[in-house]
Structure 1
Amino acid sequence: GYSARRVYLHDWTRKADVWSFGAVLFCLCFSQVPYEEEQDLHELAARIVRGPHVPIPVRPARSPELMELVATALAQRAGDRPDVGHLLAFPAMQAAVYRRKRAEEEDEADGPARP
């Protein structure tokens, strides 16, 4: 369930990876998979190919920046998805990278872990 429609059409680019990233991010945000109601793999593939787009839940509430990132990464048409460079420039991604770097710097400042 984490593959873009192009994968099912056997015509994929890195934009399919962006869709897959969006699907994983969707799972992390909402504790469910996109198109969760589809039980049959062939039906799931058909739904991804024909649409409609992945419905984004309103609960639990997430930041508008994060929702923009999820929705853009899960765009049905590959041409509507950002490339990886643009994906990393999204405010939600920049904030996550900043927090990660900050945590690493704090860990380094604390010195090596003791047994």
Structure 2
Amino acid sequence: MKFSRDHGLAERRTTATDAKAALLQAYKAAHAAADPEREARMAERVARAEEREQRHAERTRLKAEEKARAEQEAREREEALIAEANAEKDAREQAEASRISRVVEDEAARKAERDRRYAARKARQS
């Protein structure tokens, strides 16, 4: 079937304008109907973002604590190594001093023995 009516430009413009207005009304109605759901989704997003920030802050705090603990352990290990090195150095110095004192005592004993033999020989000769 053919339309017998010839649509003019003014009528087509009016129809297009009405269709656009109807689409706009439908969009606004759908947007208004979804508004409570949108607000709920936005609130949920905000809550998730806050939780994410809290988790991030907690991880950052834990990392900082772990770093501080590791640094403290490193300092303690270094101090222990220094103390061990100092103790080893003191032991070496004490052993060296002991060895030197024994050498000096042995030398003195040898001199005393030599002097005693010399005195005994002189006593026999006189």
> TM-score normalised by the shorter chain: which range applies?
under 0.3
Higher helix share: 2
TM-score (norm 1): 0.23
TM-score (norm 2): 0.21
